Structure 1
């Protein structure tokens, strides 16, 4: 398992790069139009922190690398 964090989430500029690269992990929040973790992988309901399976780690890391504001963090859980 890997932990994914969008931190600080308020710095998200809503360009949707993470959603385009890794829609299995990231989605846009309809209320504030910022990136969030899809519900399936949220840790304790937190929209900015998630636990993902190993097979999605590279996808999430690619999204983190492409994020223009570098607020996505992926680490082994």
Structure 2
């Protein structure tokens, strides 16, 4: 499964703190998905998506 952080990220850090195995801050201090979502990280990635205050995270098969 792939994760994507779309335009509009406000750098709150919710996804990074919830699922650091998939999300991190890039050089511009905006969150990015740097790894695929695995079976082990799927629950945390879904929680990160659902907790994003501006709803800019997509998870795709």
How would you bin the TM-score normalised by the shorter chain? 0.7 to 0.9
Measure the CA separation in 2 of the matches of 1:20 and 1:3: 18
Tell me how large the CA RMSD over aligned residues is.
Answer: 1.2
More strand by share: 1
TM-score, length-scaled by structure 2: 0.87
Q: Which has the larger radius of gyration?
A: 1
Q: Which runs of 4+ in 1 moved over 6 A?
A: none
Conserved 8 A contact 1:4-1:74: yes
Long gaps (5+) in structure 2: none
More helix by share: 1
TM-score, length-scaled by structure 1: 0.71
Long gaps (5+) in structure 1: 42-50
Aligned residue pairs total: 61
